[in-house]
Amino acid sequence: MNELPFIKMHGAGNDYVFIDGFETRLPDNPSELSVAISHRGFGVGSDGLVLLIPPTDDSSDVEMRMWNADGSEGSMCGNAARCVALWMNVNRRLGDTCRVRTVSRMVNVTAVDSGRDRLRDRLHGRFRVDHGSPRFDVDCDERTELLADVCVPELSQLDQLKFVALSMGNPHAVFVVDQLTDLLVRQVGAIVERHVRFKDGTNVEWVRVLSRREIELRVWERGSGETLACGSGACAAVAACVLQGRCDRNVDILVDMPGGQLSVCWADSGELLLTGPAEVSFQGVWRGRASVSLKM
């Protein structure tokens, strides 16, 4: 049976299994492996699988490929990018800035601080991700749409289904609501994720605005279900709230999620800057399915 070394890391509870391609032969069936290794009852347990791949040229420091818990490939993850930068940093492969190439875009990740938590003996740090500019689907002032054909008997307030669609290198639908309920997040979120409006599926953000500089957020992630945090989702939520005049631009907006707090600044230059923690939970060796083979 093959043995595959891995690192378990998380950003505000958004956890992934990472395979370090600088040190380890990479799996040739990451989709199948992601399903098996992400299972919280029979695997390591995670929101998905991330591969760190040595770059093919000098334009980046590392390439990041990610697969969701259901085996579908994702295109961008701000929390995973911070974890990648942390691992590159503690292995002394670079300085305080890491250029991470993803499927959809290049992002620069800068260390705010890093070190070892002596109480828990875990590597950790805070990093800021330059997430780039948002791209909105609809060209109008508030860019809101109303989602039709969603049949949930318990949902009577149809105005809650007004949303903003945008891309942060991956698709998002942001809903601003008065209350964050399990009905909206889990039941309606699962419907919206695969709604015909979104041909490739979408991440779904449910936002409650607390002030002009703080929001509360729960996310139904495409391919993984509800997660404790979502970096690109936090960026999408802040962009939608700023666009609608609910939050301020060019300042750090606090984003409270079940797994912890991130901050997002939509700078006047156009980029969304995401700041938050990254932490190594543990390292191990996967001795799972015998069908998992490794590239030589």
CATH number at residue 155: 3.10.310.10
Q: Among the options 83, 98, 230, 247, which is catalytic?
A: 230
Domain count, the chain: 2
Residue 230 falls in the annotated catalytic set: yes
Query: Longest Cα pair distance anywhere in the chain, in angstroms?
Result: 57
3-state secondary structure (DSSP) of residue 185: helix
Q: Are residues 83 and 127 in the same domain?
A: yes
Count Cα atoms within 13 angstroms, Cβ side, for 263. Answer: 16
What is the pTM assigned to this prediction? 0.90
Q: Are residues 100 and 196 in the same domain?
A: no
Q: Please check whether residue 64 is in contact with residue 55, taking contact to mean a CB–CB distance below 8 angstroms.
A: no
Asked if the structure places residue 191 within a domain, the reply is: yes
Structural domain for 256, as ranges:
135-270
Q: Among the options 77, 98, 235, 241, which is catalytic?
A: 77
Residue 140 falls in the annotated catalytic set: no
Count Cα atoms within 13 angstroms, Cβ side, for 260. Answer: 17
The strand pair at 214-221 and 203-211 is best described as antiparallel
Q: Are residues 90 and 168 in the same domain?
A: no
Asked if the structure places residue 117 within a domain, the reply is: yes
Can you give the pLDDT of all 296 residues of the chain as single tens digits?
479 999 999 999 999 999 999 999 999 999 999 999 999 999 999 999 999 999 999 999 999 999 999 999 999 999 999 999 999 998 989 888 999 999 999 999 999 976 655 434 568 999 999 999 999 987 655 678 877 667 666 665 545 688 999 999 999 999 999 999 999 999 999 999 999 899 999 999 999 999 999 999 999 999 999 999 999 999 999 999 999 999 999 999 999 999 999 999 999 999 999 999 999 999 999 997 634 444 43
3-state secondary structure (DSSP) of residue 159: helix
Asked if the structure places residue 295 within a domain, the reply is: no
